[in-house]
Amino acid sequence: MTDDPDVVARAGVGPNAGHTVRVDGKDYGLRQVPCGFPNTDSTLAIGPGVLVNPDVLLEEVEKLSDFNVQERLVVDERCAVIEDKHIEMEASSKHLSDEINTTGTGCGPANADRALRKAKLARDVPELEPFLDDVPGLVNETLDDGGTVLVEGTQGFGLSLYHGIEYPYVTSKDTTASAFASDVGIGPTRVDEVYVVFKSYATRVGEGPFPTELSREEVIEKFGKEILEVERGTVTGRPRRIGEFDFEMAKRACVINGATQVVLTCLDRRFPDAAEAQTWHELPNEAKKFVRKVEEATGVPVTLISTGPEIEHTVDLR
């Protein structure tokens, strides 16, 4: 998906969502920089709706120096900043840290300060000055000039503050496609395609309802013991809870996000025979049946299927 965009714009909550990207056998765990960084021709942007922790962001920029991220990154000056006090507030809150089991990154208190109109903004942090610009202006000018913008969301639909599985076990803002467009300053009429990304089984870090959750024994029987080590939170390192694919949740996610295409990841963990497949014909029959079942349940075509950790391990049906 990142082959073509002129701009890859990061939306979502902030550094409480981690994503691991593998490039040529090397893993990069990211919390702030867009996952589209491997395309060295793309401008990387962080929209004004995203929380920024300057320490985390600058560490990632340094870590991605081989990809020339420092020269390509744009941070909107209106991004709210996570301060040490926000992290301390979250850690000292029994409700957040113990009952909700949040990531401890300070996002909830920082978003609360933003709602109270007393947040520090990126333009107030001298270390961020080299990256500051107008991200909504950038993305809309790119579209006006006939360019392509990929808006990259974070968190899961089930963690949306408004549409999540069960309040209060959710994150501190909405995490739907509509919110992601707003986060970077794109109006709804400018959106052409909405890709909803599903893992081929369900996972969750933290407390809260999980209707399809499997026991440890069931997970090992279905996926093998090694998945227990693989499925750990990028941010916290905590083991993820694992469950069956939730077809009802998938359908609702597609409806509320206005999905036009579905992406399925980790198909190889559910069907080992599918590992590293790059064409539909290489997939085993059981994997094909699962893909068709997802399409029937959601009413949306599955167009991209990940069959391994490398970028080339992809079945592209577009």
Note the pLDDT tens digit of each residue in 97-149: 877 878 889 999 999 999 999 999 999 999 999 999 999 999 999 999 999 99
Closest CA to 267 of 240, 289, 247: 289
- Please tell me the distance from the alpha carbon of residue 56 to that of residue 62, in angstroms, as a whole number: 10
User: According to the 3-state scheme, what is the secondary structure of 49-90?
Assistant: CCCECHHHHHHHHHHCHHHCHHHHEEEECCCEECCHHHHHHH
pLDDT in 10s for each residue of the chain, 318 residues: 888 899 999 999 999 988 889 999 999 999 999 999 999 999 999 999 999 999 999 999 999 999 999 999 999 999 999 999 999 999 999 899 877 878 889 999 999 999 999 999 999 999 999 999 999 999 999 999 999 999 999 988 999 999 998 899 999 999 999 999 999 999 999 999 999 999 999 998 778 889 999 999 999 999 988 898 888 877 777 888 999 999 999 999 999 999 999 999 999 999 999 999 999 999 999 999 999 999 999 999 999 999 999 989 999 999
Residues in a beta bridge with 174 = none
End-to-end CA distance of the chain: 11
Note the pLDDT tens digit of each residue in 244-268: 999 999 999 999 999 999 999 999 9
- Please tell me the distance from the alpha carbon of residue 109 to that of residue 68, in angstroms, as a whole number: 33
Return residue ranges of the chain for CATH 3.90.170.10. 193-318
- Please tell me the distance from the alpha carbon of residue 291 to that of residue 258, in angstroms, as a whole number: 19
Closest CA to 171 of 182, 163, 162, 159: 159
Return residue ranges of the chain for CATH 3.40.440.10. 1-187
CATH code 3.40.440.10 for 1-187 = yes
Structural fold of domain 193-318: Adenylosuccinate Synthetase; Chain A, domain 3 (3.90.170)
CA triple 204-31-125, angle to 5 deg? 140
- Please tell me the distance from the alpha carbon of residue 178 to that of residue 176, in angstroms, as a whole number: 5
